[in-house]
Every structure is written in C-alpha cells, then in structure tokens.
C-alpha cells in the first residue's frame, strides 16, 4: 500500500495539516452539515482537533481522519476508527455543503475503504441518523448492507433519534474484488515461546500487540490477562506478524522494508536505546542496500533495510 496523498478521481485524499484549520472550522460549523452529527456548531476547538488529526498515525488502532481536497481546497474529511484487533473498523464522512453532490464523498470514501481493506481489515461498520438519506445512499452506493435500525438510540440535539446500521465485509468489497486477489501477506512466524517472543517484538521493538489467542482457553485474551501459549498478532507501522508457538528451533529470515536510510538509522537508535541486542548495525551491503540485522529469541533473523542514502 502506497503512502498518502492519494489521487482518487476528482479528489486528493491526504493527511491533515495545521493549514486546514480555517476551512475545517468553516464547514464543520455549518448547522446543515452538522445536522445529523454529534458535534455542536460552531465546532469547538478546531485547532486542537486538526493538530490531533495531523499527529495521528494511519493504520494504528483508534481514529484516523483523512483530509479530502478538491481543486486545491479542503472540502471535507473521512474518518476511520480501527479496532484494537485491527480486523474491524468504523467509517464516518463529511463534505462541505458547497461541494456536495459532485461525487466527492463517493470517491474519497471508496479510496479510504481500498486502503482499509488492503491493510487486512475484514469488516467496516457505519451508522447514520435514519433521516440522513444522503449518508444512507452513499453507504448503499458503496456496497454496504443495511443491518438494522436502532430505534430512539441516540440523544441528538435535544431529541432521541433512530440510527440506521450498515456493514461491509472485505469479501464483498467490489473495488477489492475487481483488483488483485492477494492483497496482503501476514507471515506466521514460528516461535518456541510466544511469551518470550512477545517480550522481544512488543517490549523491545515497539510492536503493538493486536490480539492473543489462547490454545488452552480457545479464545482471544484481553489486555491484562496472562499470556499463554498459542498465537499472537503484533503490528508496527504497516507490518503485521503472527507469532505461533511450535517447538523450535526456528531460523526464518524476515525482510522488513524501510523507505529511507534515515529511518533505518532512527530505528537503530530507538532500539539501541531500548537495550535491543543488534547483531549487525546498519551498513551498505554488497548488493547496495543499507541494512541492519537482529535476531529474535528463537534465532529468526530480521533484516531491516532501505536503499542507501544518496
Ligand atoms: C453524506 C455526505 C458526506 C455525502 O457527500 P457528497 O459529496 O454529496 O456525496 P456524493 O456527491 O458522492 O453523492 C451524493 C449525491 O450526489 C449525486 N452526485 C454525485 N455526483 C454528482 C454530480 N456530478 N452532479 C449531481 N449529482 C451528483 C450522487 O449520485 C448522490 O445522489 P443520491 O444521494 O441521490 O444517491 C454529505 O451529504 C455530508 O457531508 N453530509 C453532512 C455530514 C453527514 O451527515 N455525514 C454523515 C454522517 S453519518
């Protein structure tokens, strides 16, 4: 998956920047745009919101807000909330009134869904006020299935309102279905001791623990529950690894691709400061790549490399 910005038809989908505050505050403060949304008008604290959007990481659990630009102007936003398990997400969207009914939301949300499903998400949920026909039509046009009506579920602007529920599964995503069949790879790394490996990947290398599956209890474990043998998913940036406990020895080689030599150096410093034993610090290898090597507790080799600095 390539980085942002992305050109999607008439719109550009990109990260927010501090320069977006005025446009963002203007359309989010429009009572028509906010009519079926949970926020007040004028939108309070647009500056803080935009700086939070600008600092957030795409692909990390929690909300990530994409800015939607057309003709060089910020025209709206699309938000994705990725669940801690990284397999489910929720989507929301807003387009400024002056820019509605031009297909911008359809293009921007489709582009965001492409990214979300390409990252391994299995299901995206959405909901809207039952009177919000523009939103419901958009979701149906994109292939979401209606999944029900929650009556008098939300207290919104002084009244109890009904919510329509929608869901879209990765296998039903038409944009994805017409593209390449294999869209991601999640290596299943065999390790002799999942607990020791989680210590290495999560505590030392800074991967997040997506979930853990307990063999004995045959269920997912929540944060705080003791680690047990089984399988765990760890993720950092755009890479996900499954760790599965199988008696060793294991000597897989993993190649972690990094964009620039400066980022390899940054990882090297970060990991060295955390006390990680780096078997071979970064050097330019005979084949031209700038690479450092680490060994996990099993002896699996991580080769972390980028093109050399120019
Ligand atoms: C819901 C929302 C994001 C849709 O944005 P949008 O950019 O107008 O969406 P699109 O332009 O892609 O599609 C809207 C309609 O315009 C039509 N359209 C698309 N391109 C068009 C064009 N060039 N000319 C005329 N109509 C066009 C679409 O067919 C669609 O029609 P339909 O609603 O009858 O099916 C927008 O109405 C909005 O921001 N609402 C306020 C915030 C909100 O409620 N968000 C959702 C919360 S759940």
The CB of 128 under 6 Å from ligand 1? The reply is yes
* pTM for this prediction: 0.70
CATH class of 6-177: alpha beta
Token couple for 146: 């209606």
The CB of 36 under 6 Å from ligand 1? The reply is yes
Token couple for 289: 């790549």
- Write down the CATH superfamily of domain 188-306: 2,3-Dihydroxybiphenyl 1,2-Dioxygenase, domain 1 (3.10.180.10)
Token couple for 192: 């002799």
Q: Where are the domains of the chain?
A: 6-177, 188-306
Q: Which residues pair with 81 in a beta bridge?
A: 63, 90
Q: How far is the CA of 33 from the centre of ligand 1 (A)?
A: 12
Number of other CB atoms surrounding residue 302 within 10 Å = 21
**Helix 46-55 to helix 21-28 angle, to the nearest 10 degrees?**
120
The CB of 161 under 6 Å from ligand 1? The reply is no
- pLDDT tens-place values along the chain, 310 residues long: 447 888 887 888 999 999 999 999 999 999 999 999 999 899 989 999 999 999 999 999 999 999 999 888 999 999 999 999 999 999 999 999 999 998 999 999 999 999 999 898 999 999 999 999 999 999 999 999 999 999 999 999 999 999 999 999 998 887 655 556 666 678 999 999 998 999 999 999 999 887 777 776 666 666 666 666 788 888 888 788 999 999 888 999 999 999 999 999 999 999 999 999 999 999 999 999 999 999 999 999 999 999 999 8
Residue whose CA lies nearest to ligand 1 atom number 21? 102
Atom of ligand 1 nearest to the CA of 107: 12
Q: What is the layout of strands, in order, in the sheet containing 239-245?
A: 188-191, 239-245, 230-236, 208-214, 219-221
């Amino acid at each position: 998956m390539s980085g942002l910005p992305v050109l999607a038809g008439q719109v550009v989908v990109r990260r927010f920047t501090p320069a977006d505050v005025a446009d963002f505050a203007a359309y989010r403060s429009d009572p028509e745009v906010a009519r079926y949304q949970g926020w007040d008008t004028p939108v309070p604290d647009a500056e803080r919101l935009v700086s939070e959007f600008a600092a957030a990481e795409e692909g990390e659990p929690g909300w990530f807000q994409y800015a939607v630009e057309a003709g060089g102007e910020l025209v709206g936003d699309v938000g994705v909330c990725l669940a801690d398990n990284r397999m489910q997400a929720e989507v929301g969207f807003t387009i400024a009134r002056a820019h509605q009914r031009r297909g911008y939301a359809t293009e921007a949300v489709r582009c965001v869904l492409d990214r979300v499903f390409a990252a391994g998400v299995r299901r995206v949920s959405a909901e809207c006020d039952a009177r919000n026909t523009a939103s419901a039509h958009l979701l149906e046009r994109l292939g979401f299935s209606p999944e029900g009506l929650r009556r008098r579920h939300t207290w919104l602007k002084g009244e109890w309102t009904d919510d329509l529920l929608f869901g879209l599964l990765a296998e039903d995503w038409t944009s994805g279905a017409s593209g390449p069949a294999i869209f991601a790879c999640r290596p299943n790394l065999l390790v002799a001791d999942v607990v020791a490996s989680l210590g290495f990947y999560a505590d030392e290398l800074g991967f997040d623990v997506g979930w853990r599956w307990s063999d004995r209890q045959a269920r997912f474990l929540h944060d705080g529950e003791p680690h047990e043998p089984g399988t765990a998913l760890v993720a950092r940036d755009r890479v996900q690894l499954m760790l599965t406990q199988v008696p060793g020895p294991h000597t897989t080689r993993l190649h972690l691709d990094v964009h620039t030599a400066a980022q390899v150096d940054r990882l090297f410093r970060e990991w060295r400061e955390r006390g990680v034993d780096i078997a071979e610090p970064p050097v330019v290898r005979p084949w031209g790549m700038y690479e450092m090597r680490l060994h996990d507790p099993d002896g699996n080799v991580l080769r972390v490399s980028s093109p050399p600095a120019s």
